[in-house]
Chains A and B, each alone.
Chain A
Amino acid sequence: MGILVDENTKVVVQGITGNEGTFHAKQMLAYGTNIVAGVTPGKGGEEVEGIPVLNRVKDAVGIYSANTSCIFVPPPFAADAMIEAADAGIDVIVCITEGIPTLDMIKVVTFIRKCGAVLIGPNTPGIISPGKTKVGIMPGHVHKQGGIGVLSRSGTLTYEVVDQLTRVGLGQSTCIGLGGDPIVGASFVDHLQRFKEDRETKGVVLIGEIGGTAEEEAAEYIEEEFDKPVAAFIAGQTAPPGRRMGHAGAIISGGKGKAEDKIHALQSHGITVVLNLGQLGKTALQVFT
C-alpha cells in the first residue's frame, strides 16, 4: 500500500547518462529502488551502475517491463520526454526538471490526461513510499515508513516537514512533491482521492505555498469527501505580491494566490493549519493521535 509507487515499481530513468541522472540513479539504487533501465537517445548499449541504457522508452517497457519513469532531461527536451513516456505506456511519470516553458506543459498535460498516465511534477523532488521505493531525489534517510501521507508543492521544505514527522514518530505512507510550476501533472485533490482509498494512510499533511488555487480546491474536497485527519502548512505569508518566489508557480498575481487566503480557506473548512514551521511536529502529533 501507499499510493502510486511501491515494491512492485520498476523504474526507467530518462536522461540517465547526464550528471543529474547518473548521480540520482545511484542514490535511488542505494535506497533499494528497482531501476530496470535507463534511456538516453543515442547511448543505447551503454551501462550506468549496471543499469542497461536504451534508446527508447518503449524498449524499457517492452523488454524490461518498466512501469514508472523518472525524468532528468533538460527543459528544452523535457516535454518530449514526458510525452514519449506516456505514449510508451508508462503508468507513473515523475519529471524532476525545473524550467520547462508553461505552454509546453499545457501540451503535456492535455496528452497525458488522454493516456491515463499519472504525471508527478515537473519541478518536483519526486515520490517516495518509505521502506518500499524512492522515485526522485529526496534524502531517503529522513523518511520512515508509517501512516501519514505527505503532499507538497515544495522540495526541501518537504524534507524539513518529513524530518519533523519522523522525529515525533509519525512515519509516512507516501510522500509526493506535486511540483513548483504553475501547471503540474496532478493536484492535491487528485492525490487525496488516492489516499482516501489507501488503508495504510491514516492522515495527510498538506504543504502549500503562494500562487494558484490548489489549496483552496483541496480545502473544499477535504471537507466534503475526506474523512481522515489533515494538517496543513502554507509557505509565503511574507511574500510580496507580483514577484516569482523561486518556483514559477509561487506568485501572487492579480491579488490572488496569497498565503493568508489559503490559510483562511483551509481553516474555514475545518483543517488545522500550522502557522509556525518550528511547531509542525508537535501539532501533527495532536492532529494524528
Chain B
Amino acid sequence: MKIHEFQAKDLFRKFGIPVPSGTLATTPSQAVENARSIPGPPWVVKAQIHAGGRGKGGGVRLVRSLEEMSKAVDDILSNPLITPQTGPTGQKVRQVLIEEGLEIEREFYLGMVIDRKLESPVMIFSQAGGMEIEEVSAQHPELVLIEAIDSIQGFMPYQARNFFYALDPMPDKSILKDFSATMIRLYKLFLSKDCSLVEINPLVLTKSGNVVALDAKINVDDNALFRQKEIAQLHDPYEMDELEVKAAESNLNYIRLDGNIGAMVNGAGLAMATMDVIKLAGAEPANFLDVGGGASEEMVTNGLKIILSDERVKAVLINIFGGIMRCDVLARGVVKAAEEVEINVPLIVRLEGTNVEEGREILKHSDLDFSVAQDIEEAARMVAKQVN
C-alpha cells in the first residue's frame, strides 16, 4: 500500500526524522492562508499524488511570493498532472503540500527495501541524491552503497560509518551524528510500520548544516495491514481505478489493463499465464482477475459483473482449473451472473479439475450462450476468432 508524501512526512516527524516545515492545502486561498505559518519565501508547492516523477510534469514548483503560490496551486489543482508514471491522461491532483524552501548544500539518496535474495532488509545510500536511483545504479554502481541489516543486530552504528566515510568529497565529520541518527530512525520506522520500501530522495544537507528529508516515499506491506490499522486508514481511494475499488470491496484480486478480452481465472499464476495466452492469440488482456481458491458463487458473480462493466471488453474468457475451487460452484456463479447482468459479449469457458463434469452440465443446461473450450489451446483459438 502506498501513501502520500505528506503522510510519509508525518510518520517521519513521529520518528524524529527531520522534514521541512509544511502545510497541506486543497485550494489556492487555503494555501496562501496556511503559508503564513511557515517560513518563506521561498516556498515549494508539491502536488500530492502517489505517482513519481512529479517534478517532470510541473508538479513541484518553487515560488517566491504568495501570488505566485496562489497561481501555482490553482494551476496544479485545475489540470491533470502528467508524469512519466501516470500514463498519458495524467492524474487529478486534490491536494498540495506547501513547504519552506531550504538552501541546499548537498543531496543524497537514502532508502530501505527488502532484498529477496539476501532475505533481509537492506539500507541503500548514495551521494548521487536527487536523481533516478535506478539510473545511477545502472551507470555508476560504485556510487550506490548497500548494507544488509541483520534481524537480531538491527542497523548498527558502524554501518552508518561505512556509508559516511565513503563519501567523496567528505562533509564535515560533525554531520555524521545526524546522518547516523536519521538512518537508525529510518530503520526503526521501517520495522515498526511493516514497510516494503522507504525512500528519501533527496536527503539533503542544508547550507546551515542540517540533515533534512526533502522528499518521503513509504510503501507498506499489504500483508501487514491487518496489524497496521493506522496506516490502513491513510488509504486514498482516489488513487485507485474505480473498478479496482469495487473489486476490492468484494475481496477480488482485480487489476484493470488496457485491452479488450476480459479474463476470470482462479489462481494468480494461472491468471497471469491466461493473460499471456490472450496476447499470444493476437488480442490484449483487459484485466487480471484472480477469483482465488475459495471463491463463492457471490464472488464469481461480482467478478463477472466487474469485468463486464469495462466497456472495452469484447469477449470474456473464463479459465478455471478447479483444485479447491470447484467447477460446479463456478458454473453456478456464471449462470447467476448471467441472470443478473446482461452478458452481450461472447463468453468462452474452459473448465478442468474438481467436479468438472458437474460444472459442464450446469453450463449446458443453462440459457447461457457461450463456447466451451476443452483446453488452453482451444480457448486461445476461440479468443483469436473474437478479435478477427
Interface residues of B in 361-378 (CB under 8 A from A): 375-377
Bound form: Cα–Cα A157–B277 in Å: 13
Write out the residue numbers on chain B whose beta carbons fall within 8 Å of the beta carbon of A20: 294
CB distance from A118 to the nearest CB of B (A): 15
Q: Which of A110, A142, A155 contacts B151 (CB 8 A)?
A: A110
Q: Among the interface residues B255, B272, B279, which one has the most CB atoms of the partner chain A within 10 A?
A: B272
- Among the 9-residue stretches B28-36, B320-328, B329-337, B341-349, the one with 4 or more Cβ atoms under 8 Å from chain A is B320-328
The residue of chain A having its C-beta at the shortest distance from the C-beta of B378 within the complex is A278
Write out the residue numbers on chain B whose beta carbons fall within 8 Å of the beta carbon of A240: 255, 257
A157 in contact with B117 (CB, 8 Å): no
Bound form: Cα–Cα A238–B253 in Å: 17
A246 in contact with B288 (CB, 8 Å): yes
Bound form: Cα–Cα A100–B222 in Å: 9
Interface SS of chain B: helix, strand, loop or mixed?
A: mixed
- Among the 9-residue stretches B15-23, B65-73, B263-271, the one with 4 or more Cβ atoms under 8 Å from chain A is B263-271
Write out the residue numbers on chain B whose beta carbons fall within 8 Å of the beta carbon of A100: 223
Bound form: Cα–Cα A245–B276 in Å: 13
* Contact status of A157 and B273, CB under 8 A, knowing A237-B279, A254-B134: yes
Question: Beta-carbon contacts of B226-258 to A below 8 Å, as 1s and 0s?
Answer: 110000000000000000000000000101010
Bound form: Cα–Cα A102–B220 in Å: 10
A238 in contact with B275 (CB, 8 Å): yes
Is A159 on the interface with B (CB-CB < 8 A)?
Answer: yes
- Among the 9-residue stretches A32-40, A83-91, A209-217, the one with 4 or more Cβ atoms under 8 Å from chain B is A209-217
Bound form: Cα–Cα A156–B280 in Å: 20
Is A99 on the interface with B (CB-CB < 8 A)?
Answer: yes
CB distance from B97 to the nearest CB of A (A): 23
A278 in contact with B380 (CB, 8 Å): yes
Bound form: Cα–Cα A101–B268 in Å: 18
Bound form: Cα–Cα A257–B127 in Å: 26
Bound form: Cα–Cα A233–B269 in Å: 11
B270 in contact with A160 (CB, 8 Å): yes
Q: Which of B224, B226, B293 contacts A155 (CB 8 A)?
A: B293
A160 in contact with B376 (CB, 8 Å): yes
A247 in contact with B268 (CB, 8 Å): yes
B276 in contact with A236 (CB, 8 Å): yes
Q: Among the interface residues A142, A155, A233, A240, which one has the most CB atoms of the partner chain B within 10 A?
A: A155
Bound form: Cα–Cα A168–B117 in Å: 36
Is B354 on the interface with A (CB-CB < 8 A)?
Answer: yes
CB distance from B323 to the nearest CB of A (A): 5
Q: Which of B119, B221, B270, B275 contacts A156 (CB 8 A)?
A: B270
Give the total number of A-B pairs whose CB atoms are below 8 A apart: 166
Question: Beta-carbon contacts of A3-31 to B below 8 Å, as 1s and 0s?
Answer: 00000000000000000100000000000
Bound form: Cα–Cα A106–B115 in Å: 10
* Contact status of A183 and B272, CB under 8 A, knowing A76-B227, A245-B288: no
* Contact status of A246 and B272, CB under 8 A, knowing A106-B120, A138-B323, A278-B375: yes
Bound form: Cα–Cα A275–B273 in Å: 10
Is A205 on the interface with B (CB-CB < 8 A)?
Answer: no
Is B173 on the interface with A (CB-CB < 8 A)?
Answer: no
Interface residues of B in 279-300 (CB under 8 A from A): 279-280, 285, 288, 290, 293-294
B-to-A contact residues, CB < 8 Å: 114, 116-117, 119-121, 134, 151, 191, 194, 196, 221-224, 226-227, 253, 255, 257, 265-273, 275-280, 285, 288, 290, 293-294, 321-325, 352-354, 375-377, 379-380
Cross-chain pairs A/B with CB under 8 angstroms, 23 sampled: A75-B226, A101-B221, A101-B224, A102-B221, A102-B224, A103-B224, A137-B323, A138-B323, A139-B322, A154-B270, A160-B270, A183-B116, A183-B119, A209-B269, A209-B272, A237-B279, A238-B278, A243-B255, A250-B268, A276-B277, A276-B380, A277-B273, A278-B379
Q: A99-B223, A103-B221, A107-B151 are in contact. List 17 more A-B contacts (CB 8 A).
A: A75-B226, A100-B223, A101-B223, A101-B224, A102-B223, A103-B191, A103-B224, A106-B119, A125-B323, A163-B321, A163-B352, A209-B268, A210-B272, A211-B116, A238-B272, A278-B277, A278-B380
